[in-house]
């Protein structure tokens, strides 16, 4: 995903890889943060929204839903819960921080250049 993003940023600026300009230069010039970081921010925003809901909410029921059947062969796909756990570790956050909405929003917000 990042490769495609950088390729588009280079194209917008009229440069190619042969010009040997670092990716950070394009991000700073255009004032754009990584798409992956924005996706992580949205994922954590949704997580905070779900955890703030009441126990009777349908979203909570879906979160604890157990699907029957077998997975396909090969490496197992990363689940939403595992991805959220990784994001929380990366940003040094815990589930308890969700209850302070202003602080949570400030900590998950991706800083622009």
**pLDDT attached to residue 41:** 94
| Domain shared by 42 and 57, yes or no | yes
Instruction: Work out how many domains the chain is built from and give that number.
Output: 2
Find the domain containing 79 and state its range. Answer: 35-108
Specify if 113 maps to a domain: no
pLDDT value for 113:
62
Residue 2 domain-assigned (yes or no): yes
Instruction: Note whether 74 and 68 are within 8 A (CB).
Output: no
Positive/negative CA dihedral, 102, 96, 34, 79: negative
Each residue's pLDDT, cut to its tens digit, for the chain (113 residues) gives 888 888 888 888 898 888 988 888 888 888 888 889 999 999 999 999 988 888 888 888 887 788 888 888 999 888 889 999 999 999 999 988 998 999 999 999 988 76
Closest Cα partner for 24 from 51, 41, 6? 6
Model confidence pTM above 0.95: no
């Amino acid at each position: 995903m990042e490769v495609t993003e950088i390729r588009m940023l280079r194209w917008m600026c009229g440069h190619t890889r042969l010009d040997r300009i670092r990716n950070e230069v394009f991000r700073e010039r255009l004032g754009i943060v990584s798409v992956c970081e924005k996706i992580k921010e949205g994922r954590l925003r949704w997580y905070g929204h779900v955890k703030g809901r009441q126990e009777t909410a349908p979203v909570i029921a879906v979160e604890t839903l157990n699907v029957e059947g077998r997975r396909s062969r090969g490496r197992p796909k990363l689940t939403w819960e595992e991805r959220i756990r990784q994001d929380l570790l990366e940003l040094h956050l815990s589930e308890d921080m969700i209850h302070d909405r202003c602080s949570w929003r400030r900590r998950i917000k991706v800083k622009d250049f």
